[in-house]
Structure 1
Amino acid sequence: MTSDALFRSSVMTVEPQWIDYNGHLNMAYYNVLFDHGVDEAFAGLGLGPDYVKTHNASFYTMEVHLTYLRELMEGDPVSITLQMLDCDAKRCHFIQSMYHATEGYLAATSEQICMHVDMGLKKSAPFPAEIHDNIKAMQERHAALPRPPQVGHVIGIPRKA
């Protein structure tokens, strides 16, 4: 179940060449789908393909934590939601959720932190004010939404004490 406040991507399709020898979507291609989802969401914030050209700046992924919850198969339609969890002058922390677009089940999540980068200097730099305002407004719209249980998840083999 998703909220109308969340960004939702266009519907994408699991491609035949993305299927692995187990007969389901290969783990690498979850990242491809999540990447397309963040590109759509960030274009809406003013960080689309032209942004690199006009501002000589971009955003780089610093950390990703993917959680695989359910298989996807060839031809499955998927959509991605994005919930902005936090931001500052240079960084965004968000979680994306991948859903089967017709059956509605949650297939995977991707928690990420990205950094705004001056492409000329190859160093972090503050977002322009209008972009930061857009990101902050998204984060404020999402602040009251429940945090998915995968946020901040620690990886490890559970052991009994």
Structure 2
Amino acid sequence: MEQEATYRGTVYPWQCDHVGHMNIMWYVGKFDEANWNLFARLGLTPSYLRSSGRGMAAVQQNITYERELLAGDIVEIRSRLLELREKSIRFRHDMTNAETGEVAAFCEITGVHMDRGLRKSTPFADTIRDTAMRHLIEPAEV
């Protein structure tokens, strides 16, 4: 699957730190917004999560910072699903400066599908699995 845009936004001055670039807390926030757009494409929509009593929890997140983003920069995040397991997924976000095309940061996250009532991991529904399999970079037997 070609990476799909899952976030577009702007770096605001109040998101910058004492050295003038976007503070790391905002990178995390923008990656989080991209998570929910990616999840919705997989069928993990807000209405599905509410009606089914399911949720998603991040269990690992690794961010690599490549270039600064400054106030006024337009940010785009493209996301792709890397791995699908019975109860978890692994995906990657690439954050770029939309004007220059330069990668500012990338993030790899492992998320777990959970039953919110039991507070335990639970297998993905077949419909979610089927949709997610179509989004895998290289679909594999899981």
Using the size of structure 1 for normalisation, the TM-score is: 0.82
Within a 5 Å distance, the mapping from 1:72-111 to structure 2 comes to 72-111=69-108
User: Which structure 1 residue ranges, 4+ long, deviate > 3 Å from structure 2?
Assistant: none
Give the drift of 1:16: 2.2
Give the drift of 1:57: 0.3
One-letter amino acid matched to 1:101: A
2:51 is matched with 54
Distance in 2 between the 1:108 and 1:94 partners? 14
Q: Report SS of the residue matched to 1:9.
A: strand
2:32 is matched with 35
Q: Report SS of the residue matched to 2:61.
A: strand
Give the drift of 1:119: 0.4
One-letter amino acid matched to 1:107: A
Contact 2:7 2:78 in 1 (8 A): no
Unaligned 5+ segments in structure 1 are 145-161
Distance in 2 between the 1:20 and 1:51 partners? 37
Distance in 2 between the 1:10 and 1:85 partners? 18
More strand by share: 2
2:127 is matched with 130
Within a 5 Å distance, the mapping from 1:19-30 to structure 2 comes to 19-30=16-27
Query: Kindly, what percent of the aligned residue pairs are identical?
Result: 32
Q: Report SS of the residue matched to 2:72.
A: coil
Is 1:143 matched with 2:138?
yes
One-letter amino acid matched to 2:2: A
The superposition leaves residues 58-105 of structure 1 with CA deviations (integer Å, 9 ceiling, x where unpaired) of 110000000000000112111111121111111001111001112110
Unaligned 5+ segments in structure 2 are none
Contact 1:51 1:58 in 2 (8 A): no
CA RMSD of aligned residues (A): 1.4
Q: Which structure ranks higher in relative contact order (CA pairs < 8 Å, sequence separation ≥ 6)?
A: 2
Instruction: Tell me the matched-pair count.
Output: 139
One-letter amino acid matched to 1:9: T
Distance in 1 between the 2:135 and 2:18 partners? 40
Q: Report SS of the residue matched to 1:21.
A: coil
